[in-house]
A and B are shown apart, each in its own frame.
Chain A
Amino acid sequence: MTDVKENKKDELDVFPFITGETIDLVAGNSKWVPLVCKWQNDPKVRHYARNMWPHTIEDVKKWFEPSPDRHTKEFVVFTIYHKGDKRPIGSVGFGHINWISRNANIFATIGEPEYWGRGIVVEASKLLIKYGFTELNFHKIYAGVYTPNKRSLRAADKLGFKKEAVLKEEMYVDGVYHDVHKFALFKKDWINSNQKES
């Protein structure tokens, strides 16, 4: 009985911003600070998310502070919320937003490893990409993936990104230099491929 009530309570302060099938993209909630902190520090997760610094709860809390800019931000982040299991499982968003050149970097992390390999990043990214092109009016979305991160390389491909460049030995991970693959997706190409699908 109490469980059902608790779940309902949880849902009351989850605010979906973009709805999907398996997951929704929801507004961040400061009560998830400990969870996000766990993800940031988790060795399995941070290895691919490339986080080399230990993060404290205070560090993470700062990200949830209300932002001053009315709407012109440098980055926008959503929490990936699993609908069936009713829990936040990662983040996805745009960083380095350049409003004049109308481009941005897309990033995604699944903080709960049991959700890896289930197509969630692809679903979340598809929703975010549509938002980027049709709501934020971007011209180009780009991403950087380093070679060992095979899942992300496959995701980029599935999402229709084209490889633009390979930056040799760009990233130092676990004692070794790795290449970074730069991918790009243009609005017009995205529109064309969407039309083909429908």
Chain B
Amino acid sequence: MSGEKENGKNSKIEVFPFIEGEIIDLVAPNSKWAELICKWKNDPEVRQYARNEWPKTLDDVKKKFETVPDKHIRDKVDFIIYHKHDKCPIGNIGLSRIDWVSRHANIFAMIGEKEYWGKGIVGEAAQLVLRYAFTELNLHKVKAGVFTPNKRSLGAAGKLGLNKEAIMKEAIYFDGEYHDIHKWGLTKKEWLEKNNI
């Protein structure tokens, strides 16, 4: 059905796609989405899997948009996941802890709008980020950490073709209990093979 989701601001915000997909695009973050991002970061259901234990104020979120003098090279890349048909931002995804000498990075993703969970969106977005990591940033390996209760992310990591590398026992405290973290990884060579390139 639809056209633009009723989130009035969105119709006036200019959206700059950086990597295009089918259902979603990865777009440059926009400070006008600060309230939305703040909502996601604090939302109890979203934050429990995104592992945010601290309340975030709007100022906290806005601060991230302050332009950093262009460092020679970045150690983190963050995209907003933008739903093409519904014309709204629904989450974010990116690479963090980029180590340029050893050429690896951690992939992270979060869908802030819960109605988009379970629709394969993280899968599509992550495929785009993997391609960007290997063919544009020339990284050697992409890694991910998922904790056991997060079944969706465990499933996504498997579907993406990441290899399970290690289990860190009782490495994370969540909901009153310690849980294991599963560490996944994928090298460029493995990614090329899986994609028949």
B85 to chain A, nearest CB (A): 33
Interface flags, A85-105, vs B, CB<8A=1, else 0: 000000000000101111000
B7 to chain A, nearest CB (A): 36
**Measured CA separation A99–B71 after assembly (Å):** 13
Q: Is A164 interfacial (CB-CB < 8 Å)?
A: no
Q: Is B72 interfacial (CB-CB < 8 Å)?
A: yes
Interface flags, B80-102, vs A, CB<8A=1, else 0: 00000000000000000000111
Interface flags, A120-140, vs B, CB<8A=1, else 0: 000000000000000111000
Q: Is A62 interfacial (CB-CB < 8 Å)?
A: no
Interface flags, A130-164, vs B, CB<8A=1, else 0: 00000111000000000000000000000000000
Whether A72 contacts B75 by the Cβ 8 Å rule is yes
Residues of B close to A72: CB separation below 8 A: 72-73, 75, 100-101
Q: Is B172 interfacial (CB-CB < 8 Å)?
A: no
- With A101-B138, A102-B138 as known contacts, state yes or no: A71 contacts B101, CB within 8 Å: yes
Q: Is A169 interfacial (CB-CB < 8 Å)?
A: no
* Chain B, residue nearest A70 (CB): B75
Whether B137 contacts A137 by the Cβ 8 Å rule is no
The interface centre, meaning the residue of A72, A73, A135, A136 with most chain B CB atoms within 10 A of its CB, is A72
Residues of A close to B103: CB separation below 8 A: 137
Residues of A close to B137: CB separation below 8 A: 100
**Measured CA separation A102–B101 after assembly (Å):** 9
Q: Is A74 interfacial (CB-CB < 8 Å)?
A: yes
Q: Is A114 interfacial (CB-CB < 8 Å)?
A: no
For the complex, count residues of A whose C-beta is within 8 A of B: 13
Whether A100 contacts B138 by the Cβ 8 Å rule is yes
Interface flags, B101-129, vs A, CB<8A=1, else 0: 11100000000000000000000000000
Whether A137 contacts B71 by the Cβ 8 Å rule is no
CB-contact partner of B72 in A69, A135, A137, under 8 A: A69
Residues of A close to B136: CB separation below 8 A: 100
Residues of B close to A102: CB separation below 8 A: 138
Whether B102 contacts A137 by the Cβ 8 Å rule is yes
B140 to chain A, nearest CB (A): 9
Question: Using a CB-CB cutoff of 8 Å, which residues 51-76 of chain A contact chain B?
Answer: 69, 71-74
Residues of B close to A69: CB separation below 8 A: 71-72
B84 to chain A, nearest CB (A): 28
**Measured CA separation A71–B136 after assembly (Å):** 21
- Chain A residues with CB under 8 Å of chain B are 69, 71-74, 97, 99-102, 135-137
Closest 6 CB pairs of A and B: A99-B100, A74-B72, A72-B100, A100-B138, A99-B73, A72-B73
Known: A72-B73, A99-B100, A101-B138. 18 other contacts (CB 8 A): A69-B71, A71-B101, A72-B72, A72-B75, A72-B100, A72-B101, A73-B72, A74-B72, A74-B73, A97-B72, A99-B73, A100-B136, A100-B137, A102-B138, A135-B101, A136-B101, A137-B102, A137-B103
